[in-house]
Amino acid sequence: MRIVADTGRCIGAGMCVLALGEVFDQSEDDGTVVLLDPEPPASKAAEVRRAVQLCPSGALSLVEPPPG
Ligand code: SF4
């Protein structure tokens, strides 16, 4: 999976960072999301999905690889 972050929508709430700090961080300038690992391994998929769902502004989305 690949994570896509729309920093224009991010309100810097930091929920994603709290949920999964290995993958998400926040910019020191404006607090918007920074992806530390935009293509996390499948072993982290469940945690990544949870973090994406927690985002209050809908700034995060997931792109799943095509089957096969
Ligand atoms: S949870 Fe959403 S709004 Fe908050 S920092 Fe992460 S991407 Fe931005």
Q: pLDDT of 4-58, one tens digit each?
A: 999 999 999 999 999 999 999 999 999 999 999 999 999 999 999 999 999 999 9
- Measured by CA distance, the residue closest to atom 6 of ligand 1 is 16
Backbone φ and ψ for 15, nearest 5 degrees, come out as -60, -40
Residue 68 lies inside a defined structural domain of this protein: no
CA atoms of 68 and 58, how far apart (whole Å): 29
pTM over 0.85: yes
Ligand 1 contact via 15 beta carbon (within 6 Å): yes
Strand partners, 6: none
Mean pLDDT of the chain: 96
CATH number (domain holding residue 46):
3.30.70.20
Decide: 13 and 62 in contact? Cβ < 8 Å.
no
Domain count, the chain: 1
Residue 16 lies inside a defined structural domain of this protein: yes
Residue 10 lies inside a defined structural domain of this protein: yes
Residue 33 lies inside a defined structural domain of this protein: yes
Residue 53 lies inside a defined structural domain of this protein: yes
Ligand 1 contact via 55 beta carbon (within 6 Å): yes
Where in the sequence is the domain holding 25, given as residue range(s)?
2-63
Decide: 51 and 16 in contact? Cβ < 8 Å.
yes
Give the H or E element holding residue 45: helix 45-54
